[in-house]
């Protein structure tokens, strides 16, 4: 396989393309979208990053830009289970744009692409972007089924988890719920992406292999030798009353329970990043990240990678799952999750992102997500549990988190 990248003089609008094609990753002013599938590169986990990165790098041929995201590129959504294999999806055509004003298209073929291949690819991109969204009549009703009853989850999952924390078995545990959505017509993933963009403009929006999301949480990014992460841990609901909303935000920032939960994640992440860095540090104080439905505690972590810098795939393997989606100690928390939750998380709480042939890339944590399959969708929400967690409050928090995706699936 060979990849040729050309500079574009016009805005290719990757989000419009990716919403329709089902291969999209967008954060801030950076977006990449794919069309078609040139090849899938198997990713054995957690130790296959170097092998997969080498296969992707071998596709490089010609690149007019040589910026992060140009050249051969793959997208992936990876399972929560860090030992479960994944795939890197290498699109036949990629279009991208970044905040510095770079615009590009990459074409991948079995043989070196020719100028005519580039022209044909750009024509195909425009045809896909021209598709109407929504493409057909949209669902107007939906039925929600809680896979495990709310009361059962509260009393036999969360309360049991709190008891095990207080017994000294672990410090933190993340427990999730699952609901199934059934609609009267097929769900248009492109329309869902458009609604998520409108409601969560600051989120990382993605659509990969039928898995869509608007995640507020950056697991890790690598730009040349700079590594960044923005872990979130600690949540409070929003209120339509500005005074109450401000109080909820202030209480979250001052909450000993939430600050403790957040600190566990930051300390763990710094410890696990340090072996890859010549320098790494976190902001001294968490800040409030406000979304349409909830407030979060968040802290920016940034460092400089040692030479030669690890690829983003290696960093994902080192950091996933963080205590923000698993718990602490990690191995104990994952075992307790398997015992208490009674569900297969699949790609929920996994990671979705992109990687280029140089090892640059970025991955979001798979929260605020749904798996769409025709007229059904599976939606997840989870919370961090510590020793003084209140099971009833944790149940209410999952309901707030569900709204982020449920509101985008159906518009009456």
Return the active site residues.
Answer: 172, 217
Would you say 69 and 96 are in contact if contact means Cβ atoms under 8 Å apart?
yes
Residue 71 φ/ψ region, left for φ over 0, alpha for ψ in the -120 to 50 degree band, beta for the rest: left
Q: Which helix (H) or strand (E) holds 16?
A: helix 14-21
Residues 94-128 as b/e (b if ≥16 CB within 10 A, e otherwise) read: bbbbbeeebbbbbbbbeeebeeebbeebbeebeeb
Cα separation, 266 vs 228, whole angstroms: 12
Please give the DSSP secondary-structure letter assigned to residue 320.
Answer: P
Ranges assigned E (strand) in 120-164 = 142-146
Would you say 291 and 200 are in contact if contact means Cβ atoms under 8 Å apart?
yes
Residues 46-84 as b/e (b if ≥16 CB within 10 A, e otherwise) read: eebbeebbebbbebbbebebebbbbbbbbbbbbbbbbeb
Cα separation, 15 vs 34, whole angstroms: 10
Residue 274 φ/ψ region, left for φ over 0, alpha for ψ in the -120 to 50 degree band, beta for the rest: alpha
Contacts of 376 (CB under 8 A, 6+ apart): 180, 181, 182, 183, 187
Which residues, in sequence order, are bridge partners of residue 373? Answer: 376
**Dihedral angle over CA of 73, 77, 81, 82, nearest 10:** 20
Would you say 130 and 154 are in contact if contact means Cβ atoms under 8 Å apart?
no
Token code pair at residue 283: 């902001």
Which residue, 362, 367, 364, 286, is CA-closest to 325? 367
Roughly what angle, to the nearest 10 degrees, separates helices 242-254 and 256-273? 60
Q: Please state, as a whole number, how many other Cβ atoms lie within 10 Å of the Cβ of residue 280.
A: 21
């Amino acid at each position: 396989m060979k990849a040729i990248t050309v500079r574009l003089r016009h805005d290719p609008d990757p989000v419009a393309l990716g919403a329709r094609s089902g291969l999209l990753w967008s954060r801030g002013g950076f977006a990449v979208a794919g069309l078609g599938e040139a090849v899938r590169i198997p990713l054995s986990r957690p130790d296959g990053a170097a092998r997969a990165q080498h296969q992707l790098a071998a596709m490089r041929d010609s690149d007019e830009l040589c910026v992060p995201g140009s050249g051969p590129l793959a997208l992936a959504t990876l399972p929560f289970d860090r030992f479960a294999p994944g795939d890197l999806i290498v699109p036949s055509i990629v279009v991208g744009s970044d905040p510095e004003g770079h615009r590009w298209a990459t074409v991948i073929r079995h043989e070196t692409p020719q100028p005519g291949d580039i022209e044909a690819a750009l024509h195909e991109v425009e045809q896909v972007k021209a598709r109407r969204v929504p493409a057909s009549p949209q669902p107007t009703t939906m039925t929600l089924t809680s896979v495990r009853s709310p009361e059962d989850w509260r009393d036999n999952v969360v309360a049991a988890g709190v008891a095990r924390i207080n017994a000294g078995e672990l410090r933190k545990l993340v427990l999730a719920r699952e609901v199934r959505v059934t609609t009267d017509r097929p769900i248009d993933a492109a329309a869902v992406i458009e609604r998520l963009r409108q409601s969560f403009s600051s989120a990382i929006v993605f659509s990969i292999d039928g898995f869509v999301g608007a995640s507020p949480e950056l697991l890790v990014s690598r730009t040349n030798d700079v590594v960044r992460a923005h872990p979130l841990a600690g949540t409070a609901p929003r209120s339509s009353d500005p005074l109450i909303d401000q109080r909820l935000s202030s209480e979250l920032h001052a909450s000993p329970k939430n600050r403790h939960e957040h600190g566990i994640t930051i300390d763990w992440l710094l410890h696990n990043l340090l072996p890859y860095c010549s320098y790494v540090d976190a902001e001294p104080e968490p800040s409030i990240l406000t979304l349409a439905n909830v407030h979060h505690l968040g802290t920016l972590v940034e460092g400089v990678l040692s030479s030669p810098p690890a690829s983003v795939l290696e960093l994902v393997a080192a950091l996933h799952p963080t205590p923000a989606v698993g718990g602490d100690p990690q191995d104990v928390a994952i075992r307790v999750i398997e015992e208490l939750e009674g569900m297969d998380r699949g790609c929920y709480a996994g990671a979705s992102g992109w990687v280029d042939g140089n090892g640059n890339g970025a991955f979001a944590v798979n929260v605020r997500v749904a798996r769409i399959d025709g007229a059904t969708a599976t939606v997840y929400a989870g919370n961090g549990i510590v020793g003084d967690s209140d099971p009833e409050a944790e149940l209410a928090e999952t309901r707030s988190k569900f709204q982020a995706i449920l509101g985008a699936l159906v518009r009456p």
